[in-house]
Amino acid sequence: MPGTTIVTGAHLDGLGAAAAVRLAETGSDVALIFPDSATRADTMRRLTALPVRSLAIGADVTDADAVAAALQRVSSSLGDPGVLVTVVGPAAPGPLRELSDAAWDVSVELQLRGLFLMTRAVLDPMTRIGSGRVVTVTGADGAVRAGLVGFTRTTALELAPFGVTANLVTSTLGGSGDPEQVAALIPLLVGPAAAAVSGQMIDVGGGPAS
């Protein structure tokens, strides 16, 4: 597994926390970047029981300066990131015609902007070392999922010459695709056997992807 693992969005549905622990169990050092201090503390207790280094950083991933500062801390404390796992929560509920401007803005700002800023921040170290894994996990559907699919495929295409892969894992969180089942897939996607798997949307627990 290349480099340090960053997991962000770990406060959502327990999935980020489960992914962080799974990756630490494979021997990767893990940095958590998310704002919920209570969840950070709980997840860190699980990580510190494992023989890896770990770090928790509270940061707003929709703020470019906060993301840059967080990445600098990760690199100085644990080394350059080689894996980025971003958990993207569901979009604002309800039919499109009933969504308010504010609800739409929150969905796009929180879900897509955060992913964009985090991914952009890890690209330099990943391309410099010539390997990296970007995995996005979501239970969102509709326009947000479509945006994630497009972003993942574009990232995969642009980074293929640098040995960096990008994949999207979709799941009905809280349903048949429970956090532990979904998290179990992530070490496979970031491992050497998946070096040729990129630009894919993989559905877990929810039947065929639509």
- Look up the CATH number of the domain holding residue 109: 3.40.50.720
Q: Is residue 154 part of a domain?
A: yes
Mean pLDDT over all residues of the chain? 85
More confident call, 206 vs 57: 57
The tally of domains found in the chain comes to 1
Domain presence at residue 64: yes
Q: What is the pLDDT of residue 12?
A: 56
CB burial of residue 201 (10 Å; 0-12, 13-18, 19+): middle
Strand partners, 32: 7, 56
Secondary structure of residue 57 in the 3-state scheme: strand
Write the pLDDT tens digit of every residue in 104-134: 777 776 778 889 999 999 999 999 989 999 9
Show the domain range for 139: 4-204
pTM: 0.89
Q: Helix, strand, coil proportions of the chain in percent (round to 5)? A: 50, 20, 30
Asked if residue 23 lies in contact with residue 102, where contact means CB atoms within 8 angstroms, the answer is: no
Residue with tokens 């990129």: 198
Domain assignment present for 63: yes
**Residue in this structure with the two tokens 């509709």, named with its chain if needed:** 142
12-46: pLDDT as tens digits? 558 888 899 999 999 999 999 987 666 677 888 89
Q: Using an 8 Å Cβ cutoff, are 40 and 30 in contact?
A: no
- Domain contains 124: yes
Does some domain include residue 209?
Answer: no
Looking at residue 94, its amino acid is G
Q: Which of 167, 159, 87 is nearest to 126 (CA)?
A: 159
Flag whether 43 is in a domain: yes
Is residue 210 in some structural domain? no
Q: Taking phi first (over 0 means left), then psi (-120 to 50 degrees means alpha), and beta for anything else, what does residue 157 get?
A: alpha
